[in-house]
Every structure is written in structure tokens, then in C-alpha cells.
Amino acid sequence: MMGGDIMILVYKGYARKRLREALKVRAIPELLQVIDFPYKEYYPGFATINFEFGVDEEGWRDNIRKQKFSNEVQAVANLGLYIFEKKGGGSYQEAIKFLSQNLDLDPDLVKELRYEIRLKLEKIMSIVGISEEWKPLPAPNLVPYERVAEDFYSPEYVADIFQLPPDTVVYWCRTGQIKAVKLGAKWRIPESEVLKLKQGHDVYEEQDQKQSE
């Protein structure tokens, strides 16, 4: 595509377990790093790739939204930003300058990138189709807030997110440092508690980065 137009590739399919779990705890950027996908978000919606997830049910209470996701997902890859990040990336201004140039994406290059991106995404989603046109997924059914169930996670999964020994997370559960329920001999941690942990973890990493600068 020429003249600075944005070319997108829309990968349609179904989320694998890794992607579903990353969505629930808002850890998709970390997952993309694991699969070696060159990702950067310059502002909401303007990124190397954006995911749109299917939602079966949605409930609201006091401006708080809770959703029940389906397995359906669309991954919208921005080819211009993908190439820019592969070349080393840069600032928002540099990205805009790069995209505004008269890029001539050779059909063979587009075919190569299309296949390369597919190989990476197939690690986290089952792809059933690829398009150059984005269409929104169907709107969810609106239901009472209480009907949308909360998910629970194992200590092993939570430990993997924060790169901690599973015994540490089990100790937190046992001593009440995080909210958890015990089902038989196994602990399960609610999604809301994992989100609180991640928010605190992100703040700590941001402060640690500022101190090291």
C-alpha cells in the first residue's frame, strides 16, 4: 500500500488458554513479549497490534463493568508499525514520520509479513481467517451484574505472572495477605485480587525504573 496509507491485517479466530488468561489479568503486552512479537502502544488503539475479544454477556453496576468473554478474537496488526518496531522503533513522533513516508510495500514483503505474524499469533490463538478489512464483533447481551461470574486462578498461574515461587503465593493465601478460597486441598485466587496485585506490581516497577534513571 502506497502514499502513507495504513495497511492492516486482521487475524480472526479463537483465543488459546494463554491469551484468555492474559486478557483476564491485563497482561497481553507481557504475553506478546514472550512470543517475541514486536509490540508497542503509542496511545490507546494506536499500537503494533490490537486485540478485539468477543463478549457473550456484559453487566454493569455503579459504572463498573463486568464481562463474560467468548473464545472469539480478532487480532488487528498494523503493518507499518510492525515494520517500524522491527527496525528498532522509536518515539511517537518518529513513528508518525515513518508512517507518513511514501512506503511501497512490495506484495512479496506483505506476503512474508503476513506469514511471519501468523506464525507468532498461532502460539496464542487458533486462526481461521485473515482479512485486510476490520469489522466489529457482535455486541454482547446485557445481563444483571450478578450473573457475570468471576474467574479464579491457581497459585501456580499467579506465580508465573509475577515470576515468583508458587510456594510464596500459597503462603500469601494461607496467611490472608491476598484474598483466596480453598477448594479441598487447593487454593484458588479470584480475578479481582489478581488485578489488584498486578496494579500494585506495575506501580512498583514504574517507581523502580524512575529511581534507576
**Co-location of 16 and 68 in the same domain:** yes
**Co-location of 88 and 162 in the same domain:** no
pLDDT attached to residue 203: 44
**Co-location of 52 and 156 in the same domain:** no
Taking the model in full, what pTM does it have?
Answer: 0.71
**pLDDT grade, residue 162 (50/70/90)?**
confident
Residue 185 has pLDDT above 90, yes or no: no
| 35: number of Cβ within 10 Å | 15
Mean pLDDT of the region 118-126: 97
How many angstroms separate the CA atoms of 11 and 74, rounded? 6
**pLDDT grade, residue 206 (50/70/90)?**
low
**Co-location of 155 and 131 in the same domain:** no
The last residue of a domain, from among 142, 158, 175: 142
Show the domain range for 78. Answer: 8-142
How many angstroms separate the CA atoms of 4 and 100, rounded? 5
Domain assignment present for 107:
yes
**Co-location of 55 and 131 in the same domain:** yes
Domain assignment present for 125:
yes
Domain assignment present for 1:
no
Query: To the nearest whole percent, how much of the chain has pLDDT over 90?
Result: 52
Q: What is the CATH number of the domain that holds 167?
A: 1.10.1660
pLDDT attached to residue 94: 94
Domain assignment present for 205:
yes
Domain assignment present for 184:
yes
The last residue of a domain, from among 142, 167, 187: 142
How many domains are contained in the chain? 2
Domain assignment present for 138:
yes
**pLDDT grade, residue 212 (50/70/90)?**
low
**Co-location of 174 and 69 in the same domain:** no
Mean pLDDT of the region 193-209: 66
Long-range contacts of 177-185 (CB under 8 A, 24+ apart): 181/152
Residue 53 has pLDDT above 90, yes or no: yes
**Co-location of 132 and 164 in the same domain:** no
The last residue of a domain, from among 85, 117, 142: 142
| CB crowding 12-34: b at 16 or more within 10 Å, else e | bbebbeebbbbbbbebbeebbee
For residue 132, the cross-strand partners are none
Mean pLDDT of the region 63-84: 90
pLDDT tens digits for 25-35? 778 998 999 99
Among residues 85, 73, 72, the alpha carbon closest in space to that of 113 is found at 85
Domain assignment present for 58:
yes
Domain assignment present for 164:
yes
